[in-house]
Structure 1
């Protein structure tokens, strides 16, 4: 391996370690400050991801692709949210084996209440160490990295639109 290649590899590893350590520190701080009276941090993540989808719904397998949890863990999490009326399950009209998870109106209200407090915490925690221009640069770099990793050969996008005739919330 050439000296240049070794140096590029070391730089990439150092960048990854810095990114990972920053993410762990921020997540620990946000988790400690999370307003979890109504929903947990992981339940919030489910609601957040559903809230960003058309009709506030998506296929269970697509939802799992957005979360850093295993499929069985996501299923249990969704079942807990279902029992509390925060989400509902609907049959997937394009796949008899598939399930669509939808945020209910009550679930969206709960999500919004928590999101307002959580966003303030994010602004305080993340904004404390970085200026606005640095935050914009960080956003651009993270987006660039995510897109580069997401388009690596052998990887596929996990999000497909839900059929228009699926039940809406």
Structure 2
């Protein structure tokens, strides 16, 4: 069974649609590059920050690895490898999942929480500088409305499978 779509059914982008698509991609790249640069200056990657911040919001600062991977749009194996690097730096620890002998829990350590608390002001300032402060309230409302429409999509790809290996929104 072929996985290639029929070329007769392709709805090619109009020039306006292509400009909008490319503009969206440029915005994503610019904002992500800016925030990644600012986090790197304080010793964290964007994925580090996302793992730390989402763990900090969980009861007991703990999440099942699979749930965390789903939330981030990552494969379990990719998150497991990343968690290994974070664990070596003392930012989190893994414990066996008492409800699933095959799984593990990710637990935010005191050092990880401190790293997050130290990074949060830099991160929010970066988000403001590279994104929020460049938009007016109407732009933000439109973006939220658009994200609501696009976010309803059930298609979630593991960014690890993309050619660049970069996460998209």
Instruction: Report the TM-score, using the length of structure 1 for normalisation.
Output: 0.71
1: CA distance, partners of 2:20 / 2:86: 37
Segments of structure 1 that go 5 or more residues without pairing to the other structure are: 156-169
Q: Counterparts of 2:17 and 2:100 in 1: how far apart (Å)?
A: 41
In structure 1, what is the equivalent of residue 153 of structure 2?
149
**Where in structure 2 are there 5+ consecutive unaligned residues?**
1-9, 157-169
Q: CA shift at 1:52, angstroms?
A: 3.1
Distance 2:132 2:149 in 1: 21
1:77-120 alpha-carbon deviations (Å, 9 max, x no partner): 21122122211112212211011111122211211210111101
Q: CA deviation at 1:36?
A: 3.7
> Quick one: distance in 2 between partners of 1:103 and 1:96?
20
TM-align CA RMSD = 2.7
Q: Does 2:18 match 1:18?
A: no
1:35–1:117 CA contact under 8 A, matched in 2: no
Highest RCO, 1 vs 2 (Cα 8 Å, sep ≥ 6): 1
**Conserved? CA contact 2:42–2:119, under 8 Å:** no
Aligned pairs for 1:1-169 (under 5 A) are 10=14, 15-67=20-72, 69-146=74-151, 148-150=152-154
Deviation by residue 1:123-161 (Cα, 9 ceiling, x = unmatched): 111024211231133123213321x113x6xx7xxxxxx
Write the distance in 1 (CA, Å) between the matches of 2:11 and 2:48.
42
Distance in structure 1 (CA, Å) of the matches to 2:102 and 2:29: 36
